[in-house]
A and B are shown apart, each in its own frame.
Chain A
Amino acid sequence: MTKLLAVFRFELAYHFRRASTLFYFLIVFSMCSMIMQVMAGGPRDDGSFNSPFTLLATTVLGSMLALAMMAGFAGDAAARDTDTRADSLFYTSPVGKRAYILGRFLGTFTMSALLLLAFPAGCLLASVMPWVDPSRLLPIRLSAYLAPYFFFALPNAFVGTALLFGAALVTRRATASYAAGAFLFFSALICGKLLAPRLGVSVATLLDPLGFTTINSLLLSLTQLQKDAFVVRLDDELVTSRLLWIAIATSAMAAAHARFRFAHHAVGRESTAVTSRPTGASRAGAITSTVPAARRVFDASTRLRQLRAITVRSFRELHASRAWWIVPLLALLFILQAPALATSRLGVPGPLTTARLVEFLTGDISIWVTLLIALSAGELVWRERGARMHALAGVTPVADSLSVTGKFLGLALMLAAALTIFLAAGLAVQTIYGADEYDLVLYAQLLYGLLLPEYLLFAAFAMIIHVIVNQKYVANVVVVLTPFARDLIQSLGVENKLLLYGSLPAWMHSEISGFSPGTEARLWFTLYFGGWALLFALAAYLFWIRGEERGLRQQIALARRRVTRASAAIGATALSIIVGAGAFIFYNTHVRHDFLTTAETEQRRAELERRYGRYASLPQPILAATKLHVEFYPRHREATIRGTHRLENRSDARIDTIQVATSPDADTTIVSFDRPSRLTVDDDLHYRIYKLDQALEPGESLEMRFGVAIATRLFESRSTPPVVRNGSFITHRPRDGVHWLPDVGYPTARELDDPGIRKTYGLRERSPYPRLGEVPVGSEQRGYEEIELETIVGTDAGQIGVAPGIARRSWTEASRRYVHYVTEAPISNAWTITSANYAVHRARWRPAAGSQQPVDIEIFHHPTHTANLERMVRAAQASLDYNTRAFGPYRYRQLRLVEFPSHASVGGMTAHSSLVMYAEGMSLLRPAKDPRKIDFLFAVVAHEVGHQWWGHQLSPAFVEGAPFLAESLSWYSAMLAVEQTLGRDHLQRLLGVLRADYMQPNQPRTVPLLQAIEAVDSYRRGPFAMYALREAVGVEPVNRALRNLLAKFPPGRPPYPTSLDFYSELRAATPASSHALLRDLFEEITFWELSAKRIDVRPGGQGAYRVTLHVDAQKRKGDNTGTERAVAMDNLVEILIYDADRKPLHRAPQRLRSGPQTLEFTLPRSPAGAIIDPDHELLDRQPADNEITVESTESFRKVN
């Protein structure tokens, strides 16, 4: 025991003496406040800064990142003696194995525990800093700071230390600790991000070694109020998980202890006991030198030969090192991940495109590459010293510059080899999962052209860090944490990429438009950072450790001596690259176009509101018609627009000033009116005020002419710029603040929405959406008007321009192709005009009967994207069919679906009047292969066509609940179209899938549907409510209510409908008996908890069966804080009893009240089971327990 204590004390003293320990504490401390900032939602959020949840998340995430430092302690403690070759001394000392290992382990654990204590301490310190907004500070309760430490950090320190220490002990290599650390880190990440959505949070929590799953799931679900009131609670899974992992860690330690021998660690296959046999020569005293005199040449070609030798040697060494194992592991992960990659958005299978595969490599997986580079660079820098061969290598006549260059090239070679393995894995995966073709050129461009340079930049950085820090493990920690730190710094507001080494603009590849301009900009950034990398390499050379010198003074003297003409020339080259490329980038981002950080953009928006917000309610003319002449110049990535707006004074006041918002993203070249006017305000916030000499009388109209030039910039911050070489699309939607043309009236959509940010800039408080009932009925809402649009689109001969409306005429002029479009009925003031090398797929929908005219369906698509055309046509036809019959005519004679370029992984569709835009990713979907046997694409197209009614014909007022009216009703339409075309079973399967999305545990549900604005409410909960309602009252009352709503609110003019109008129509159309259900579904937040407990079957005479079903039912209401309370339940709930073939024996609604109850049925045949609410119409968070089988009831009875 005393021995153990002595070892323990020695270990602590050892770590405390080391400089790296201080450094680790500093890193952890500084990381702490950064993580806390981010967890609290950034500096400008209005959530509380030190909510107990933020403290918990900071501690857990921090303890995960701190694994790198813990690995430093553990690796050092376990492998130090072998490294310093003091092992024989210790092994022969009378300490004893147990005291030796246990003492060191406890010492290491104590160090880790102390290190993690820096999180509560750091959080506490960060909370009392003077710059923290006091209004964001909750009263400091010590328990809130310490509880996460005891419940999470301390167990993590134990689990981490045990595994890291054990790994290093068994392998006698400190590197093993880092590998174990990486394993833990990624296990936690995988549990939280991959397993939780698939296997459920409880399973993932159980498997999670570090508790990440818990906070990750809470992070998404907690409201601010809940975060503030959060108390760390140990639920069963968490406790089990913590205990499980402590047990695993303990047994791993025990195993390591058992495996560890107090004996010299033999390296290599042969033992060290090799004696040399004396040969004839060795006995003779006199020998003659038989070494032939070799010619030694020291010229340029020798230097090349030496460089090659060092490069190849370094590559071989890296290939033999343990770090290399990351590569095949990654390739394996890549292959395993392939099925998931082959599943696109919405879970629909799609082909594995090259871009998609490579994209995966740049995502979460890239941290592994970081690790690989860090370890490899360390390996190379420390290679000679690690093997204690530095003196032998130091006297070879090799220039230091060659050693540095050769090692870097070896590293580069290794990374290229790694990428080649990924390429092979990619091809293998594509072969297995069926790719349409292999695009080797694209692979080469992406892997060697984009990724390899990025890796090399990082490799140069890793090497200089290893050289400068000159402590292997500390340097590894610094290198591995750098990308995290960079992201943190970026998220805290430093966005200028020039300042963040290695932060390259994201690349984007689309099959339609190829590489995005941002990808080209990336090359410039690569060059710029390449200059820095060269400078780093030079610094690495200057401070390169060679020989035995260790003193800082001598090292500096040596560096000074290494400053020669050649190294100065390299430095000058590096600097001129940095200055040259940097200046080019700076000129393009800051001089030619203003580079605006998020904060600067916000500032301008705030300033706009402060200066001109008072004009928001000023009467302004309303847009009635727009005429455009659009010219695309795809090769130059430019477009020009000339046109006129016809503006009508629909107010009853005279209007003598016109407020004009011009586009911040384009050059507005002309604005003029058809009557004399004066420009009185024109400032850099893209806001102008014109004074009309002669006021516009009520009812009068005015023409405004304008010219706009759009150019896509090389340093484009938008990932999908408007004008590209193929696949340009200009989307104009002024009501959302997206506009290219000058727009009349103060642009409310440009105001800042986030309450916290508004507060930062001292703007008046307001919510993002106006509160339901606050907007005066009948008020004119700009952007919601309907317009006539007439467009001439010109583009290069190889492309075709597409705009809304009937194509009146098309012609070719000066080898440019023109089409003239005219809308035949008014459209919403939101449209897209495109130009691409499109192929057109044409079809037609004919109405069954009635006054409706036939509709031309045209799909403008990339020529090779043909797989889903028929499917999309069928969906459009089905939707037109259902909606025209149920809700009234479609207003146009054509319906266009137009493809636009996107990342392969991005899907998405947008509906304009008569025009549905769909992302390239959608054409890569393969619904026919969907194992769930649902046609998601069909449903989504039906949904978008549904918007022609819900969103366009019914144009909701801009208040809370508007997303519900547009999205939920479109989904309702889509569901019915699916049901009618593909059948009720198909709809049930589709609903099952949608429900899985929506039943994600912990989705915040704090808003009643009528006020819904969140996507999960408007896209999922709303449609379910509509479906439940239809099931309860039948389809006709619901559709009648919707028809009435449409009739009452014609589009394009006030009053605009709100969800309250919808609700009153529903109440009017449904019997009073269903009004309680209406209230449950729409007015309040209601959950049901239904469960079937037991089913008893007795003979009922005359061959009949008497069935008793024991059920439990609860009904709960939630409020806006997320708290719930039980309420009395009185609902009609569908009960299904089925036989052995799952054929229904009985299906009818039954009135259920709160609490346990029994239901009696008499059935003609013997039942096999029963389900309460079989279609899950009522929101039940545990739908699985709604079913009970006779079998399970009986087996339960037997057991008891």
Chain B
Amino acid sequence: MSIELRIDDLSKTYGNGVKALQNISLTIPVGMFGLLGPNGAGKSTLMRTLATLQEPDEGSIRLGNLDVIRQKEAVRQTLGYLPQDFGLYQDIAAEKLLDHFAILEGIVDRTERRSVVEALLHQTNLWDRRKQKLGGFSGGMRQRFGIALALLGNPQLLIVDEPTAGLDPAERVRFLNLLSELGENSIVILSTHIVEDVSELCTRMAIIDKGQILLEAEPLRAVETMRGSVWERVVAKDELPAIERDYNVLSTKLLAGKTVVRVYDETQPSPAFYAVGPELHDVYFSVMGGHYRRPAALEAVR
């Protein structure tokens, strides 16, 4: 059957004492996997470790039969990675650099390489810019070029760190579609703080904070567990402090001068609140706020 990525007890502490990862264990099957978490949660450390670029202090990572920590080169043969923040050589044309990387990715046959490069350039909408030096690329073009690099060689494991940052809405849709298509056969790990990216695409997800996994779930099911526990109310701005004191506030947002408050409660907190359908946002905030009740089924898996 198709491979899976098993992460066991992964820990990493930086020199300055920051515990970036604490006993992380995850199993990621083929498909899109979303990694949600606030800034500094350890997402990027986890991604870089999975991408063979960093060494964990403890724990193991296996991709199918491969030991990711020790058999880096074999892993890299099936790996695609788009870092969160990267640059490109300034003084080389897009097409040439892509071709160079295609060689490094083991596509040695010249005609095959040419058609792969051509297709990727089309797919990332860079075909018209292929002769242009990368130094002249805009942020979005750079991001798309990075995507092209990550997709080279049809990776079985694709790790993308905040990929949609800097993309315009049309490109974002295009790219996410591309990813979900890849997710049919490969493991695609998507790290993001945009909840929509996960809810729209991912079959599985994890929420990570302070180096720990707070929740590992299927997005739809996680949303379902919240059903009946999310309440909403429209309040005046000056009422907000009292509400925040008295209820488990999930989120607040401004709507036409008023504040819409969503709270978590297993029963209706007061008549002023009305029931609303839960969203992935609510899951995220309730997990972060420590209100989320782990469904029994998942508890059993652990």
Contact = CB atoms under 8 A, between A and B. Distances in A.
Interface of A: 267-279, 281-283, 285-298, 301-302, 305-306, 309-310, 313, 317, 320, 383, 387-389, 391-399, 546-549, 551, 554, 557-558, 561
Contact of A387 (B87, B120, B139): B87
B293 interface: no
Given A282-B170, A294-B107, A395-B79, A388 B85 contact: yes
Contact of A561 (B70, B112, B125, B132): B70
Given A309-B103, A547-B52, A549-B53, 10 more contacts: A268-B133, A271-B136, A286-B177, A287-B177, A288-B181, A295-B109, A296-B153, A387-B90, A395-B53, A548-B54
A363 to B, nearest CB: 34
A395 B86 CA distance: 13
A278 B15 contact: no
Most chain-A Cβ atoms within 10 A of its Cβ — which of B76, B106, B133? B106
B123 interface: yes
Contact of B136 (A270, A294, A296, A387): A270
B48 interface: yes
A278 to B, nearest CB: 6
A281 to B, nearest CB: 7
Nearest to B111: A294
Closest 4 pairs between A and B when the two form their complex, measured CB to CB: A268-B135, A547-B53, A270-B136, A388-B87
Interface in B120-138: 120, 122-123, 125, 128-129, 132-138
15 contacts: A268-B136, A270-B133, A274-B129, A276-B141, A282-B171, A285-B177, A287-B177, A288-B181, A306-B104, A306-B106, A317-B89, A392-B101, A396-B76, A397-B73, A399-B73
Interface string B171-209: 101100110011000000000000000000000000000
Nearest to B77: A397
Chain A at the B interface: SS class: loop
Given A267-B135, A397-B106, A549-B53, A294 B73 contact: no
A561 B52 CA distance: 14
A287 B81 CA distance: 22
B170 A389 contact: no
A293 B109 CA distance: 12
Given A269-B136, A389-B88, A392-B86, A297 B122 contact: no
Nearest to A547: B53
Nearest to A310: B104
B104 A394 contact: no
A228 B81 CA distance: 69
Contacts of B87: 387-389
Contacts of B146: 392
B153 A275 contact: no
Given A392-B149, A396-B76, A270 B132 contact: yes
Given A388-B86, A548-B48, A283 B55 contact: no
Contact of B116 (A291, A298, A399, A551): A291
B103 A306 contact: yes
B75 to A, nearest CB: 8
B21 to A, nearest CB: 14
Contacts of A547: 48, 51-54
A289 B178 contact: yes
A387 B89 contact: yes
Contacts of A283: 170
A998 B73 CA distance: 71
B154 interface: yes
B262 interface: no
A385 to B, nearest CB: 10
A225 B142 CA distance: 70
Contacts of B53: 391, 394-395, 546-549
Contacts of A396: 76, 101, 104-105
A397 B128 CA distance: 29
Contacts of A289: 123, 178, 181-182
A317 B92 CA distance: 9
Contacts of A310: 104
B267 interface: no
Contacts of B65: none
A395 B107 contact: no
Nearest to A284: B174
A159 B187 CA distance: 60
Given A268-B136, A548-B48, A296 B122 contact: no
Contacts of B89: 317, 383, 387, 389
Given A279-B125, A287-B177, A287-B178, A305 B55 contact: no
A288 B122 CA distance: 12
Contacts, number: 178
B179 to A, nearest CB: 11
Given A267-B135, A306-B103, A395 B181 contact: no
Contacts of A320: 91
Nearest to B142: A272
A298 B77 contact: yes
Interface residues of B, number: 70
B258 interface: no
Nearest to B136: A270
A274 B119 contact: no
Interface in B29-61: 48, 51-55
B19 to A, nearest CB: 14
Contacts of B103: 305-306, 309
A395 B52 contact: yes
B100 interface: yes
Given A279-B125, A395-B81, A398-B104, A294 B137 contact: no
A1096 B129 CA distance: 84
A971 B134 CA distance: 72
A397 B173 contact: no
Contact of B108 (A297, A391, A395): A297
Contacts of A394: 51-53
A302 B108 CA distance: 7
Contacts of A389: 86-89
B90 A272 contact: no
A294 B55 contact: no
A156 B140 CA distance: 47
Nearest to B51: A395
B123 A291 contact: yes
A792 to B, nearest CB: 72
Contacts of A557: 55
Contacts of B85: 388
A988 B250 CA distance: 106
Nearest to A394: B53
Nearest to A277: B128
Contacts of B116: 291-292, 294
Nearest to A383: B89
B89 to A, nearest CB: 5
A193 B263 CA distance: 84
A551 B15 CA distance: 7
Contacts of B113: 294
B135 A395 contact: no
Given A268-B136, A285-B177, A547-B52, A291 B151 contact: yes
Nearest to B148: A291
A546 B141 CA distance: 25
A549 B86 contact: no
B163 interface: no
Nearest to B144: A276
Contacts of B108: 297, 301-302, 305
Contact of A309 (B100, B123, B125): B100
Given A270-B136, A320-B91, A391 B123 contact: no
Contact of B174 (A282, A295, A296): A282
A276 B182 CA distance: 24
B154 A293 contact: yes
Contact of B138 (A274, A292, A561): A274
A398 B79 CA distance: 12
B278 interface: no
B80 interface: yes
Most chain-B Cβ atoms within 10 A of its Cβ — which of A391, A399, A546? A391
